Amino acid sequence: MSDTTAAAHEIFEHEEKAVRKRVNRFRTIQNLIWISCLAAGGIFFGWIAMAHHQNGIPLEELAVTALPILMWGTIAITAAYVVFVMIYFGIVRAIYHSQSVVHPRLNDQLHPDEHRQFNWHSYFRKNHNREARRIDAVLVITMKVTKLVSMFALIGFGQFAWMYLMDLTGQELMDEHYSFLGLVDLTLFSCLVLYVVVLLAIRVGALGKRGKEHKWAKEHHPASDPNRAR
């Protein structure tokens, strides 16, 4: 290994470590947000269930205390949901930097047969050095979607519970109530659109990279070479 190649490997390891550290920090923040929201929702609805079923307190009486908590709690969880989704942009940006800058910089110093392969889902594994499997990407996407859907469902359930208690106590919906419902709905679906945009950006980026690799293989391998892209 030449000094240039050794230096390229050293720079790569340093930059790759920084990228993984940044991704792990983002993931930690997301996990804290997710766990905190589910815990808050579980504690609140658990309190309602215990007070009503075990202590026999009527829902109409509980609604006096529960309604403001439910409304502002739903708004707080919705805000946390927005932050949760926006963090994905930071994660994608960090991983894309590794794909488009860090890995190509190293591979430019290596023989094509020695190129370091890029696997985006390795940034979500503790043991990122083990051989990548197709199931890894499926597991990562499934976990991310599960967290997103669970927070979405919690917010939706909070809205319906709030409307049910309002109806149970005979309170009419005022303009500020409709504003609350509209704001939450708009935020939820806007974040879903943003999340889909992130997924599409990842997919388009992957297809673009494959297209470049396909073109490079056709240019650098003769027609008789089995490694030549068809």
What token pair was written down for 107?
């591979």
pTM surpassing 0.85? no
| SS3 letters across the chain | CCHHHHHHHHHHHHHHHHHHHHHHHHHHHHHHHHHHHHHHHHHHHHHHHHHHHHCCCCHHHHHHHHHHHHHHHHHHHHHHHHHHHHHHHHHHHHHHHHHHHHHHHHHCCCCHHHCCCCCHHHHHCCCCCCCCCHHHHHHHHHHHHHHHHHHHHHHHHHHHHHHHHHHHCCCCCCHHHHHHHHHHHHHHHHHHHHHHHHHHHHHHHHHHHHHHHHHHHHHHCCCCCCCCCC
Average the pLDDT over 122-136 and give the result. 73
Average the pLDDT over 166-183 and give the result. 72
pLDDT of amino acid 205? 54
Domain boundaries, the chain: 3-220
Confidence band for 216, pLDDT divided at 50, 70 and 90: very low
CA 152 to chain centre: 13
pLDDT in tens, 28-54: 999 999 999 999 999 999 999 999 888
